[in-house]
A and B are shown apart, each in its own frame.
Chain A
Amino acid sequence: MQSVPQEWVQPANVCNLLLVAVLDWAAIAGVLVLTPFAPRYFYPA
């Protein structure tokens, strides 16, 4: 029986994971700054 290509079942690269985590935080920052739900509309300084 054929098996899944070995290069596909390797663990994640830590640098890629770090990048993904940073991008998730960037998305959160985007929501906080760019959307109509941004804090500046609700909690002005």
Chain B
Amino acid sequence: MILIAGRLHALGVVLHDVVHMPPAQKSPTIRLIELLAGYPIGTTVEAMRYHHLRHHCDLGLHNDPYLKTCVGESRLRFWIMTLRYFLLVPLWVLRGVIGAVAAYLPGLRGVYGRIFLQDLSGEDLTPSRELLACACEDRWQTLFYVCVGFAVALRPAWMTAYYLLPLVVAGYLAGVRLLFEHVQKPSTERSRRAILHFTRNHHLGWMGKLLLTPHNVGYHLIHHLHPQASLGNLPKIQEWYERSGTFQSEMTP
């Protein structure tokens, strides 16, 4: 089960690379990647782009959707906080349903954006075209989970053991990774220096590749410095920085 969870987590990382590509009309290839790597883990390109790019833009600031200041430097609070990520994928699947309804019901878009897309801007989200695009795409995800529901009805034990449970664990792995890769303390600036202080590389070994940091996403500091760079190139960029001694000189006060 844990091996399947690791690969489902890896699919999320594949979709994450799509999210960082320049926004354009969704090509059939991207739609196919979304079908293979997005819907099965409970997300769409639009939904992931919505919260993930805000995280990059507002890293460590008060409206960074991924910042959990209550964790701070405490290891105990860190591991307690990880438990909430067992709910991550179930909530993402629920997001699909709420989004599908919100696509037709403007009054629901505020709740949908703030709770399910982690929008912390405080703005009125009802007229947001970006949010509406997320809601419309969630209709397809919901259709996917209706099919999953039929499969579960046909083979409940099989689907639970080999898809639903690994999926919940995959969400947990993604949440643990999220907490590892950022310093959970508030920042006050958007700068390269802030990136160097608030992001970390972690779990770069084979166990990491298998479970926690598939497809080089563990080179997280490099990813924040070069968000559009393909994850496949991150190890050699890291090596380049190490050779050039850039980090050492910039980290020195």
Chain A interfacial positions (CB closer than 8 Å to B): 1-2, 4-5, 8-18, 20-22, 24-25, 27-28, 31-32, 35, 37, 39, 42-43
Contact indicator per residue, chain B 134-178, by CB within 8 Å of chain A (1) or not (0): 000000000000000000000101100110000000000000000
* B 213-235 binary contact with A (CB < 8 Å = 1; else 0): 00100000000001011111100
Alpha-carbon distance A42/B158, docked complex (angstroms):
9
Q: Is the CB of B18 within 8 A of A17?
A: yes
13 pairs of residues in contact across A and B, judged by CB atoms under 8 Å? A1-B246, A8-B236, A9-B233, A10-B229, A12-B21, A12-B230, A15-B29, A20-B215, A21-B37, A27-B3, A28-B7, A43-B155, A43-B157
The answer to whether A32 touches B162, judged by C-beta atoms less than 8 angstroms apart, is: yes
Query: Which residues of B are found within 8 Å of A1, using beta-carbon distances?
Result: 246
Number of interface residues of B (CB under 8 A): 39
Closest-by-CB residue of A relative to B240 is A4
A42 and chain B: residue at smallest CB distance:
B161
Contacts of A20 in B (CB 8 A): 14, 215
A-B contacts besides A31-B3, A39-B161, 9 pairs, CB < 8 Å = A8-B229, A9-B228, A10-B230, A12-B20, A13-B230, A14-B18, A14-B33, A18-B36, A43-B157
What residues of chain B have their CB less than 8 Å away from a CB belonging to chain A? 1, 3-4, 7-8, 10-11, 14, 17-18, 20-22, 27, 29-30, 32-33, 36-37, 155, 157-158, 161-162, 215, 226, 228-233, 236-237, 240-241, 244, 246
Contact A21 B230, beta carbon cutoff 8 Å: no
Q: Across the A-B interface, give the 10 residue pairs with the lowest CB-CB distance, nearest first.
A: A12-B230, A9-B229, A21-B36, A21-B37, A11-B21, A8-B233, A12-B17, A9-B226, A14-B29, A24-B7
Q: Which residue of A lies closest to B249 (CB)?
A: A1
- Give the chain A neighbours of B22 by CB distance below 8 A: 11
CA–CA, A38 and B193, complex, Å? 48
Given contacts A10-B228, A11-B230, contact A24 B3 (CB under 8 A): no
Asked if B158 contacts A43 (CB within 8 A), the reply is yes
Tell me whether A2 and B244 are in contact (CB under 8 A).
yes
A17 and B17 form a contact (CB under 8 A):
yes
List, in ascending order, chain B residues with CB within 8 A of A37's CB: 1, 3
Residues of B contacting A11 with CB < 8 Å?
Answer: 17, 20-22, 228-230
> What's the nearest-Cβ distance from chain B to residue A7, in Å?
8
Query: Closest CB of chain A to B165's CB: distance in Å?
Result: 12
A1, B237: Cα distance in complex, Å: 15
Given A12-B21, A17-B18: A24 in contact with B237 (beta carbons within 8 A): no
